[in-house]
Amino acid sequence: MGNIRLHTKFIVLLTGAALIPLIVVSAVTFVRFQSTLEADASKLGHQIAATASAEISSFMVSQFTSLANIATLYDPNFPIRPADAGRLLDTILLRSDDFTDISVVDKDGKEIVRKNKLLVVAAGDLQDMSTSQEFATVRESGVYVGPLYINNGRPFFDIARQMVGSSGEFLGAVFAQVDARVTTSVVTDISRIVDKPGRVYIVNERGVVIAHPDLSYVLGEKDLSALPSVSSIAGGSMQGQISFTYANELGDRVLGSAHPLKIEIPGLGSNDTSGISWFVVAEQPEASVYSDARKSAIFSLIFALFVVLVAAAAAVFFAGRVARPIEALHTAATEFGKGNLSYRARVESHDEIGDLAQSFNTTADALAKTVASLKNEEQVITAERNKLSLILGGITNAVIAVDLDRKIILFNKAAEELTGRAADTVFGKPVPETIHVFEGDKEINADEYCPSGAEGVDGPVFDKKDLRMQDAKGREHYVNLVAGRIREGKSIGLGCILTFQDITREYLMDKTKREFVSIAAHQLRTPLTGMSWTIEALLTDAKGALNDVQKQLIERGRDTVRTMIGLVNDLLDVSRIEEGKFGIAIQRLDIGPVLENVLVVMRKEAAKKGVELKEELPSALPQLDIDPNKVEFVLNNIIDNAIKYTPKDGRVTVRAEIQAKEFVISVQDTGIGIPAAEYDRVFTKFFRSKKAVTSFTDGSGLGLYVAKNIMDQLHGRVMFESKEGEGTTFRIMLPVPDAVSAQGSVPPSVGSPSASVAA
């Protein structure tokens, strides 16, 4: 479908501007008028229904009043003989057009008298009503109104009213059979007020007709519960009045209004008759209700058509004067869009359109100059991009750049060699389809090394070493991965720059070295263990008594062997750590026995060295989630170092306390200290301070490295503070379980807070 010309749009717009308000106003007026008519009709319907309700109510009240008079005849306090009361009852029945049967029941529910217009009731015909629902209802509620029923082609319903003594006691009840044709007569008379096919009728709570101008509805017990006005009151739950527009069972469109029937019975102290759930429904023909609204709609339609014709003529005239200059501007813009930058708008009007055309031509001149400048800049950018590609091509590390959707936009030569994929085969592909990076056995998700929420970050966003990846041929490579962003990345569509350093050769060499160390350590441990056993056997005089000189020599040899075994064990621990096989068996237990096991040994070592070992420990120590053997290793190593590097007559202090959610063991010495320049190397493999090497010859430099790894696996920390020549303080911090932490700090010790071991 082609574009609609502006001239045509103006015609439609001007015509619509005149027509739409008219339509809106007419529609609103029509709706309000129709709503008013409907409200008036609904009000009339309710008035009609209320009139019928009032007449039926008046009829019912008169019947209950008659029952009250009959009840008076059988009041024990009323001075009349039973025979006279019976004759009066016959008279009342014969003169009444509405009653066909009357009976009086005593307080036990037994009939004491019954009169019928058509039948002679003998004493043997009297009934016991004590178990009937009717008797129970009238006794409980004071009155009873029964359902409509048909007898010999005539509609009837039963009513009853209790008899009450002067003291309010229950004396019995009066029952009567009422001819219901009077209700049909009432609704027939009132239906004449409503235009045909309108009508007024009465239904019970189930929607069954009990009074209708058409007696067949009553005799046939017609169910009208499907009609909206009736269904809304089915069940007797309606409160107040309600109206609906619908098609009734005859197919006539009507406005139906429902009204509950309420009867006020004098003498009961209540405005509601128990058991009466009747409703009056008045239906008015929809045609008569909305006839005036239809006439108004036809007039509005004719007037709207006249307005359209006048508006269309005016629109044609004004559209030509307004649209032509704008169409000229449109033509100029189209030519400009095709690349014809020399085309200019030709508009000679001296109004806003003419000013717009002049502005357009000025903008076109400026844009032509800008386009020429951009072409020159594009050539410069292309040259710079080619230069950058040449630079990246010469970098030995693999460099991969991805856009904001993590699709590859740059892939240098080193990246091709590392991944085994040509650059032209990966451009535009998501990086996870090309590269799979693993840390151990777990693949690292692209969201980790190139996070999507890091816009505006300038610098590295990911940096991990010793990662594993496979190339296109399935060969494994070990890499260090650094991912970075530039602050302007989002504006130029650059997501991350990934730099892979291939360390496969170095990794394999280091692995070979670790394997060699592990094998050598295993091979050394066996003969060293044998030597240790042999020396211990000699020292126990198992092979004969030794003199003092011999014992000193052998003890020296034993110490050397123990040092060698410790070194071998340290090497094996380092090997297990680097291979990820350094198992930790965590269990919850008291830290006290573990700490005491270490201190028992360290007291002896301190005594040998002539160093004071001071213990400031609380009386109660908490339970922690630890591997006791590994924690003993850490404590042994750190306390032994403190004793070893503290001169004679120096002091080593061991303290313990809970700080926040950590159990902190601090080891403070007055030893040689650590130079500040060597702080960063304290927890690395084979590190020994130059001063320590000069002063003390033994030591592998592996103990603190192993201790640091143990603490990492226990989710703890190890830290130190040191000043050269003054001493060092190491702090071992282990997490305290929540249940222990909630109890608060460890209580202080009782009695002497410290113990000392001196040389």
pLDDT at position 109 over 70 = yes
User: Using alpha carbons only, how large is the chain's radius of gyration in Å?
Assistant: 55
More confident residue, 69 or 349: 69
- The pLDDT of 56-63, averaged and rounded, is 83
- The pLDDT of 714-743, averaged and rounded, is 85
- 89 and 118 together in one domain: yes
- The pLDDT of 606-620, averaged and rounded, is 92
- The pLDDT of 667-682, averaged and rounded, is 89
- 237 and 207 together in one domain: yes
In a domain, 709, yes or no: yes
Among 197-206, 351-360, 549-558, the range scoring the smallest mean pLDDT is 351-360
Among 319-333, 441-455, 713-727, the range scoring the smallest mean pLDDT is 319-333
In a domain, 661, yes or no: yes
- 45 and 138 together in one domain: yes
pLDDT for position 758: 32
More confident residue, 653 or 54: 653
- 653 and 594 together in one domain: yes
In a domain, 251, yes or no: yes
CATH number assigned to the domain comprising residue 615: 3.30.565.10
Place of tokens 């100029």: 332
More confident residue, 194 or 634: 634
Point out which residues pair with 403 in neighbouring strands. Answer: none
- 112 and 189 together in one domain: yes
* Order of strands, sheet of 437-439, starting from the edge strand that comes earlier in the sequence: 408-411, 398-402, 496-502, 476-485, 459-470, 437-439, 442-443
More confident residue, 468 or 685: 468
What are the DSSP E strand ranges found in 618-661? Answer: 623-626, 651-659
Burial of 228 (0-12, 13-18, 19+ CB in 10 A): middle
Residues 126-164: tens digit of each pLDDT: 899 989 998 998 898 888 888 888 888 888 888 999 988
More confident residue, 78 or 117: 117
Question: Which range has the top average pLDDT, 273-287, 329-343, 608-622?
Answer: 608-622
- What is the C-alpha to C-alpha distance for residues 648 and 26, in angstroms, rounded to an integer? 111
Total tally of structural domains belonging to the chain: 4
Q: Of 289, 309, 333, which residue is a domain's last?
A: 289
pLDDT for position 745: 46
CATH number assigned to the domain comprising residue 134: 3.30.450.20
In a domain, 88, yes or no: yes
- What is the C-alpha to C-alpha distance for residues 559 and 577, in angstroms, rounded to an integer? 27
Kindly indicate the confidence band of residue 731, based on its pLDDT and cuts at 50, 70 and 90.
very high
Asked if 142 contacts 161 with a C-beta cutoff of 8 angstroms, the reply is yes
pLDDT at position 104 over 50 = yes
3-state secondary structure of 495: coil
Residues 245-259: tens digit of each pLDDT: 888 888 888 888 887
The pair of three-digit structure tokens given for residue 351, joined into one six-digit string: 């109004």
Chain centre distance of CA 229? 43
Average pLDDT, the chain: 78
- 202 and 252 together in one domain: yes
- The pLDDT of 78-103, averaged and rounded, is 84
- 421 and 548 together in one domain: no
In a domain, 727, yes or no: yes
Domain that holds residue 234: 1-289
In a domain, 515, yes or no: yes
Kindly indicate the confidence band of residue 70, based on its pLDDT and cuts at 50, 70 and 90.
confident
Kindly indicate the confidence band of residue 394, based on its pLDDT and cuts at 50, 70 and 90.
low
pLDDT at position 666 over 80 = yes
pLDDT at position 751 over 50 = no
In a domain, 111, yes or no: yes
3-state secondary structure of 245: strand
What are the DSSP E strand ranges found in 563-712? Answer: 587-590, 612-616, 623-626, 651-659, 662-669
- 546 and 477 together in one domain: no
- 640 and 689 together in one domain: yes
The pair of three-digit structure tokens given for residue 166, joined into one six-digit string: 């002067």
Asked if 289 contacts 41 with a C-beta cutoff of 8 angstroms, the reply is yes
| 3-state SS record for 387-452 | HHHHHHHCCCCEEEEECCCCEEEEECHHHHHHHCCCHHHHCCCEHHHHCCEEECCEECCHHHHCCC
Q: Of 241, 257, 289, which residue is a domain's last?
A: 289
CA distances from residue 31 to 23, 38, 40, 136, 294 in whole angstroms, order as listed: 12, 10, 14, 54, 11
Of the candidates 45, 33, 35, the residue with the CA atom closest to the CA atom of residue 255: 45
pLDDT for position 110: 92
- 137 and 9 together in one domain: yes
pLDDT for position 648: 92
Q: Of 502, 529, 556, which residue is a domain's last?
A: 502
- 280 and 136 together in one domain: yes
pLDDT at position 11 over 80 = no
- 549 and 569 together in one domain: yes
Asked if 209 contacts 221 with a C-beta cutoff of 8 angstroms, the reply is yes
pLDDT at position 192 over 70 = yes
In a domain, 323, yes or no: no
More confident residue, 129 or 330: 129
Q: Give the max Cα distance, the chain.
A: 153
- Percentage of residues of the chain with pLDDT beyond 90: 14
Question: Which range has the top average pLDDT, 86-90, 501-505, 653-657?
Answer: 653-657
Among 219-223, 298-302, 532-536, 755-759, the range scoring the smallest mean pLDDT is 755-759
